[in-house]
Structure 1
Amino acid sequence: MATEDLSKTSSLPPYPQMIMEAIDALNQPEGANKSSISKYMESKYGEMPPGHADLLTAHLTKMKDSGELLLIKNNYLKPGADAPLKRGRGRPPKPKEPLPPGVVLAPPRPRGRPRKDPNAPPAPKKLKPSAGPPKVSKTGRPRGRPRKVQPQLVQNGVEA
């Protein structure tokens, strides 16, 4: 019994071919919906493989994305000869000037920050700038918290 099922599925033409055939045979000006395509395929080829609905959906989506079919109001139809080409998302690229013959381009630079050289000597430590006179604002006081004043010892041993 299982060999009969395999022989039936292997004798079926590819799904894109069956889909195009169904759209041609249904010959509707507004196109054919998924259920009518499925019914036509089942009537012509008999019992379809298990998972037929999922396979049909996947192939219809793939054909729609590649531009082989148009989806208008849930109906699939073949694009006409005067139909515009399907564009991808985003801004279209600028047209490129053809290069003169004999010109060889360098390989493009990789994106992102270049990796460190593992064999390079370690970089010297950066020195902190010396603490010079404090910066003074318009009010005449230096910025920030005032420094702690350390008590100075007087010579006779009493603090000031």
Structure 2
Amino acid sequence: MSLLLNKKDLKKAAEELSVIKLQDVIRQLNDVLEERQREAETIEELKALAKQKGFSLQQLGFQVQHELVSSEVPGESAEKRPVKPKLKTINKDKQYFYVDGGKLQLLKTHTMKQGLRDRGIDILSYSDVSKKHQKEVQALLAEAEKQAIANFNAKVKIWNLWAEANGGEQLSAK
């Protein structure tokens, strides 16, 4: 795949292939491009549905990863610089919780608040969590921290690929 990232190497490789092989490669690349576009459309539909229902994709068990593969027209500007990732720390005093079905849940995105309130579910700050549910807080925060680290590491991989190709700063995973 790194061969495709450098136009000179791609041109050199194309000169070595026969016309039939080139047509086969182009067909395969077009198939992959169509599949990726369908995936992107499906992800957008899932995001819209999840937002409409008051959930995040992460809360529903999906891990969203941004890919370096762009849907730009070939020959246009070079790939864009990804956002430099920052590890989000979890401070229990700044987290919000809610009780759903008798079980304490961590409010993962603030966009969920209105959807939960519309369903009649109260949003609680850490200090408002009942003693009955206090023991669940640490497990929820540990899971949230684990997810934050996984998201950070996925973004670091993307950043490091870009940094390697463009002479940027390499980051280390946590």
Q: TM-score, normalised by structure 2?
A: 0.20
Structure number with the bigger relative contact order (C-alpha 8 A, sep ≥ 6) is: 2
Q: Which has the higher helix share?
A: 2
The two structures have a TM-score, normalised by structure 1, of 0.21
